[in-house]
Amino acid sequence: MQVKDTAAIVTGGASGLGAATAAELAGRGAKVFAFDLPDSIGKAPAVDGVQYVEVDVTDEDQVREGVATAAGAGVPLRSVVNCAGIGPSMRILGRKGPHDLGFYAKVVQINLIGSFNVLTLAAEEIARTEPLEHDARGVIVNTASVAGYEGQIGQAAYASSKAGIIGLTLPAARDLAQHGIRVLTIAPGIVETPMLATVSEEFREGLAKGVPFPQRLGRPEEYAQLALSLIDHDYLNGEVVRMDGALRMAPR
């Protein structure tokens, strides 16, 4: 599916993987609506063709309004890339006691339920658009993580949320098939984004050494390139694609 002269939503679009994807989509002629929280938008650079919209992905009303803004762009909404997420860690039994339940719920709320919220409300709008060739209307790309398969120590909440996205991919593709909407998921390994900003250079080098090939961390532009490839490819649907240099995470 071509993105030129279509509207696109990218959640988490003010930083990291989302920002790179928003810029790539805009570079290819899409009108991009980057949903993010006010703090992140405040720090984001202006990018031609990208309009930032303050949307908390966990809030139904805010997502509905954000989707309506994108739908009013004068070109059909055809693609969504869900990148909003958080990646904190906590052990099930830590020094301070058992895993905080509210913390677990928050991670699942943002990463999994937030993605589902945007997928659902954006799908409603995409389903209203005029179909293209072979009744195609649009594509939704979610972001899981290799932690959804091999979560590490401290990643119970994060891995659960990402495994949920992996499990959502096929039934969402099946549900939305009758509307001509494809659903795909990218499961990145370790990509150099602000999410990794807190770790030391030494730790970063250690992470890179664990990647078989290429022996380095991934780049946000590589995620964006893959997201665009999935959008472009009309026969890809219901699949989760790892982008990890063959990395398989060890327990820690």
Ligand X SMILES: NC(=O)c1ccc[n+]([C@@H]2O[C@H](COP(=O)([O-])OP(=O)(O)OC[C@H]3O[C@@H](n4cnc5c(N)ncnc54)[C@H](O)[C@@H]3O)[C@@H](O)[C@H]2O)c1
Interacting residues with ligand X between 2 and 41 (CB under 6 A): 11-12, 14-18, 35-37, 40
For 92, the enclosing helix (H) or strand (E) is none
Stretch that binds ligand X, among 70-78, 88-96, 130-138, 193-201 (CB under 6 A): 193-201
> Do the strands 31-36 and 181-188 form a parallel or antiparallel pair, or are they unpaired?
unpaired
| Residue 85 binds ligand X (CB under 6 A) | yes
Least distance in angstroms from the C-beta of 232 to ligand X: 21
Kindly write out the interface string for residues 99-128 of this chain, putting x where it contacts ligand X by CB under 6 A and - elsewhere.
-----------xx--x--------------
| Residue 83 binds ligand X (CB under 6 A) | yes
- Exposed, middle or buried, 138 (CB in 10 Å: 0-12/13-18/19+)? buried
Residue 197, helix vs strand vs coil: coil
Place of tokens 């703090």: 39
Stretch that binds ligand X, among 89-97, 124-132, 177-185, 186-194 (CB under 6 A): 186-194
| Residue 159 binds ligand X (CB under 6 A) | no
Least distance in angstroms from the C-beta of 187 to ligand X: 7
| Residue 188 binds ligand X (CB under 6 A) | yes
Interacting residues with ligand X between 206 and 235 (CB under 6 A): none
Active site residue 223: no
| Residue 241 binds ligand X (CB under 6 A) | no
Least distance in angstroms from the C-beta of 180 to ligand X: 26
CB neighbour list of residue 88: distance below 8 Å, 6 or more residues apart: 103, 107, 157, 158
Residue 29 or 38 with smaller CB distance to ligand X: 38
Q: What share of the chain is helix, strand, coil (3-state, %, to 5)?
A: 45, 20, 35
Separation between Cα atoms, residue 222 and residue 98, nearest integer Å: 38
Q: Please tell me which residue in 52, 104, 149, 158 is annotated as part of the active site.
A: 158
Torsion over CA: 123, 22, 19, 213 (sign): positive
| Residue 57 binds ligand X (CB under 6 A) | yes
| Residue 191 binds ligand X (CB under 6 A) | yes
Separation between Cα atoms, residue 172 and residue 66, nearest integer Å: 21
CB neighbour list of residue 41: distance below 8 Å, 6 or more residues apart: 14, 34, 52, 54
Residue 41 or 132 with smaller CB distance to ligand X: 41
- What is the total residue count of the chain? 252
Which residues are designated catalytic? Answer: 158
| Positions in the binding site for ligand X (CB under 6 A) | 11-12, 14-18, 35-37, 40, 55-58, 83-87, 110-111, 114, 143, 145, 188, 190-191, 193-196
